[in-house]
Structure 1
Amino acid sequence: MLLGRTQTLKISEKNSSGWILTDESGEKAFLPKIFIREEKEIDEEVEAFVYQDDGKLKATTEIPLAEIGEFAVMSCVQSLPSGAFMDWGIIKDLFIPYKQQKSKIIEGKRYLVYLYIDEATGLITGTTKFKRNPQYQDLTFKKGDKVELILMNESELGWNVVIDKKYIGLVYASDVYKKLYPLSEETGYIKAMREDGKIDVSLQREGFENIDEFRQKVLDKLEENYGLLYLSDQSTPEEIKEKLQMSKKNFKKAIGGLYKDKVIDISEDKIRLL
């Protein structure tokens, strides 16, 4: 039985309280009746998440915010001297022992949490203590891959982020073109898989093949400003970042294409729609 993971199990027994689900090894977990979405017969398969409750294996068809080896943003529902209970999307709350809290967890607040199985107790456990900028090996990411990000915190280099709920990477400050907030979610793109095993991420696509979205952003801003925008090749990266949330490199590619297509006119200090 894969503890802390969603898996395919078979129905081996049924009673008035629910179903007994069994894996290939014969290990069992109980699925309470409240989580049964449709009627099934003995030996039919069910997708379920397996967790512990009072020392027993239980299953649910609810979708947790995170599984073992993943990060998620969770709200604290109860804080005690021994630890905190977090809402992780299923009927049973996730426990974070006091020693696994980077700082005291406060009821009602949201935190980034990592799930693991405690070696000493064998229990699914959460922690807000995790290694910053870890090194990874043999990942299948390629430059340009689209990924989902959770923003962790801002550092001198930029923003530490969680990639696809599993990996920690970095968005350099030079690649940040809008206001960002801890624990918010963003779409990102793999920028580089470094030789030291660290992952660099960008918030914008790179390359000419992806310039259409930047052209559209320039056009949208022009339309908002009655066809006139006081930006040009001579504008500073800071000015472009403030008004358009893009790099000067992407801005120049965008207006160059629009000028070539005779959509805009470029002056020394401004661009305008034709």
Structure 2
Amino acid sequence: MAVIGKRNILSIERSSGPGLYLNGGALGEILLPGRYIPRDIPPENKLDVFVYLDSEDRLVATTETPRAMVGEFAYLKVISVNSQVGAFLDWGLSKDLLLPFREQQTPVRPGQWVIVYVQLDPRNKRIFASTRLYRFLNRETPCYRENQPVSLLISGKTPLGFKAIVDNAHEGLLFHDKLSSPLTIGQKLNGFFRTIRPGGKIDLSLDASGYKRVNTVTEKIVDALERNGGRLAFDDDSSPETIREAFGISKKAFKQALGALYKSRRIRFQNPGIELLDNTTYSPSDATA
């Protein structure tokens, strides 16, 4: 059966003037309007579509991809505000997403960007957004292991650091003193689970720690050197911003990896830059020797 607010693989039942009718199972036939029909129909006559209600509350499908589906958090722009019902958000579809007044933590205005949770009203099957995020965050203690990779959506800033929604379910914190450069609200990035503090609070990091981090970063640096003729214009004096942009790591992690490579006689410093040496074979155990 097709699921409203999600992408579905649906088979084509028939064609008509308005478009194609898809098999929605218990939901019945679902119209894919003609403007969304792809040029090349797959041989198995199945299409990957998003299902929702149009402006007239009719069940329809689209091949467009929304910026968030039901059950997901997203950072969306406020397009307009209707004094009767609420605000409308741009979520990548022709029909804007409603953010009702009752679901606004604080009033929003046109042009503003907000973190929202996308949900489905079980009564009328309409999809709408909410900025009352705490209702939808999972409060159970997650079963992460130390240094487990996680996906992050930066959702706020505190005196201690940046709040992030973890794996679209939990909330964690990236401490200011662990960051090489500031983050921005709405930014999506990959990070690592660090630990659970008393009270169930999650500590996060943008870098893996210890041996695993050094080993992974050294591999990145050597690979970059090999792809650039054995030389790079990066060293201990490079700025945190350029290192983060080039390698996706903090300056601290970068310097630790350079130290491990230098200690194992895998690189030498050019002042500025580094050069790859090929007279030794680097072993990951050298990084922790």
Does 1:106 find its partner at 2:109? Answer: yes
Equivalent position of 1:31 in the other structure: 32
User: For 1:61, which of 60, 63, 68 is the aligned residue?
Assistant: 63
Identical amino acids, percent of aligned pairs? 24
Write out aligned runs for 1:20-169 (5 A). Answer: 20-25=21-26, 27-38=28-39, 40=41, 44-53=45-54, 54-81=56-83, 82-119=85-122, 121-131=124-134, 134-137=137-140, 141-169=144-172
Q: Distance in 1 between matches of 2:161 and 2:135?
A: 13
User: What TM-score does the superposition give when structure 1 sets the normalisation length?
Assistant: 0.76
Deviations 1:100-146 (A, max 9, x none): 11222211222112101134544211011111894454867544343
User: For 1:258, which of 251, 262, 274 is the aligned residue?
Assistant: 262
Deviations 1:172-199 (A, max 9, x none): 3332221112122222123246786554
Unaligned runs of 5+ in 2: 226-230, 245-249, 276-289
User: Do the aligned partners of residues 96 and 229 (structure 1) sit closer, same or farther apart at CA in structure 2, a change above 3 Å counting?
Assistant: closer
User: What TM-score does the superposition give when structure 2 sets the normalisation length?
Assistant: 0.72
SS class of match (1:25): helix
- Which piece of structure 1 moves more, 115-124 or 65-74? 115-124
User: Do the aligned partners of residues 39 and 68 (structure 1) sit closer, same or farther apart at CA in structure 2, a change above 3 Å counting?
Assistant: same
Amino acid at match of 1:22: N
User: Do the aligned partners of residues 228 and 176 (structure 1) sit closer, same or farther apart at CA in structure 2, a change above 3 Å counting?
Assistant: closer
Q: Distance in 1 between matches of 2:27 and 2:156?
A: 44
Q: How many residues get paired? A: 258
Q: Distance in 2 between matches of 1:61 and 1:29?
A: 13
CA contact under 8 A between 1:9 and 1:22: conserved in structure 2?
yes
Write out aligned runs for 1:215-234 (5 A). Answer: 216=221, 229=237
User: Do the aligned partners of residues 196 and 2 (structure 1) sit closer, same or farther apart at CA in structure 2, a change above 3 Å counting?
Assistant: farther
The CA RMSD measured in Å over matched residues stands at 3.9
Deviations 1:21-53 (A, max 9, x none): 123335232110111103549983221111112
Q: Distance in 1 between matches of 2:93 and 2:145?
A: 34
Unaligned runs of 5+ in 1: 231-239, 266-270
SS class of match (2:134): coil
SS class of match (1:131): helix
